[in-house]
Structure 1
Amino acid sequence: MTADTGFANEANIKYLHERQINGYIPDNQFRSRDPKFADQKDKYGKRHQNLPDKGWRETTPASAFQFDPVKLTCTCPTGEKLTYRGQRDTDNGKIRVHFEGRLLQCRHCPKKYRCMQNPSSADHRNGVGRQVSFIIENNRLPNYTDWMKHRVDSPKGKQIYSHRMSVVEPVFGNIGTTKRLSRFSLRGKKKVQGQWQLYCLVHNIEKLANYGQLQA
């Protein structure tokens, strides 16, 4: 069983675990942990381009970095390892872990104008690379969400969920976008069910017309 990120919460994942249901529900950061998606924004475009400008600007957030709280490692969106710079206790009893990008890597990185608030700091000898920090709970036990993240990030999990994105998502894309079914125009469970089944019927007829003659 697979589901989209909207169903990723501790209660749902606990339900799957306790009933031994073979399910895969990724969290909303699962693409940022997969190196295959590192260049997607460059390929399809985004609002904040890799161009130098003046003053403060929005940079790549720390959430885009892959942080391992067990091994205390951090990987930037381009796949480079950051240097561990230690940790310190916060006022609320948690731990903040600090990392810094290696100077030469940040200096020659094509994304430094998007990633760093002051990109020129990596250009001189005594400069610094990108700095990020993460807060982890002290002695926090692994929960069901951690278990699901491990499943989704595994090679098997990536294969299973990628199959869902190529089989399930195009159906919603066709019916919702191409057929423009953004909302039901009828009221009542029976009428709505009938309208939905009609749209599904048209979708399946199109598939038979376009691909019905192909051999499996």
Structure 2
Amino acid sequence: MADNQFRQRDPNFDQSGRYKIQHKKERAALAKKRGQPVSSGRFTLKDFAFDKQTETCTCPAGKPMWLSSTKAMIGGKPGYQFCGYLENCRACPLKAQCLRKPGQKSARSVVFSYKPEGCEKPD
């Protein structure tokens, strides 16, 4: 009979979660040193055109995105959240580079962080 709880009880496997995180960091550092992209090949935030003055965003395919929130919280920081229109994302030739999964039914969303007013450092 298989013992499915063996690794949880065995003290030799007590620190295994820590090593997984360390291994990911080492691989990312090695890829950066070699000049290889660390990302998954998807479009990054830099590929989206954001205009703070007009509060608009354009995707890498040149399609407009709609502003869904001006106070979206990502990692404890507020930001502007934009979502793509479903009809644009479904028919987009760049969908494979943009969405996480090829069969994803929702549109791409991005968040541009900003500093809240009153949080500037004094001179």
For Structure 1 versus Structure 2, the TM-score category normalised by the shorter chain is 0.5 to 0.7
Higher share of residues assigned helix: 1
Identity percentage of aligned residues: 29
Counterparts in 2 of 1:137 and 1:109: CA distance versus 1, 3 Å: same
Q: C-alpha separation between the residues in 2 aligned to 1:89 and 1:112?
A: 24
Q: Could you tell me how far apart the structure 2 residues matched to 1:131 and 1:92 are?
A: 16
From the CA coordinates, give the structure whose radius of gyration is larger: 1
Q: Distance in 2 between matches of 1:104 and 1:59?
A: 20
1:63 & 1:106 partners in 2: Cα distance? Answer: 18
1:113 and 2:91 equivalent? no
Q: The residue matched to 2:64 in structure 1 has which SS?
A: coil
Equivalent residue letter for 1:134: F
Q: So what's the TM-score if we normalise by structure 2?
A: 0.56
Other-structure match for 1:65: 48
**Larger strand proportion of the pair:** 2
TM-superposed CA distance for 1:139, in Å, is 3.4
Q: TM-score, normalised by structure 1?
A: 0.33
Match of 1:78 among 43, 61, 69: 61
Coordinate RMSD, CA, aligned? 2.9
Q: Which runs of 5+ in 2 are unaligned?
A: 1-35, 119-123
Aligned pair count reads: 82
How big is each residue's C-alpha offset from its partner over 1:151-199, in whole Å with a ceiling of 9 and x where there is no partner? Answer: xxxxxxxxxxxxxxxxxxxxxxxxxxxxxxxxxxxxxxxxxxxxxxxxx
Q: Is contact 1:102–1:128 with CA below 8 Å preserved after alignment?
A: no
Measured in 2, the distance between the counterparts of 1:73 and 1:98 equals 10
